[in-house]
Structure 1
Amino acid sequence: MKTLLRMACVASLILLAAGCASSGSSYAATKVSPFSVDQTYMGQVEAIARRRGVDVHWVNPPRVGQDEVAKR
């Protein structure tokens, strides 16, 4: 019975250690987005809003693809 209990404890510790082990540097890597914020459009909207006395708070700013950024 003691042997079975020891084996169960050792097995659970091994599984626990494997679950807590680092999975590599994938968390540290920064993702490069193929999109960037469309500053031109945001500037136009904010200028119109300022003239009308409205405050604009961007929750989801407009995005533009990298190929469109290269064209500008």
Structure 2
Amino acid sequence: MTKSNEALKKVLYVDDVHAWTGIEKATLRWMRSVGRGPKSFKVGRRIAYLEEDVAAYLREAYEKDNPAA
């Protein structure tokens, strides 16, 4: 993947992350305010997430609750 293609990763907004994960929108906003949850950034006035960062957050949560035997 070229550097220009890397910049075109899928961007999700709060509604998208809520639909995908089931995490309430208010909880996502709270997590952002206290430095928890998936990495996020602002696009204009909207909070955005990279799809890969949300996936990484979900993987970490899964691994925390299901440690290797």
The interval holding the TM-score normalised by the smaller chain is under 0.3
More strand by share: 2
Scaled by the length of structure 1, the TM-score of the pair is: 0.26
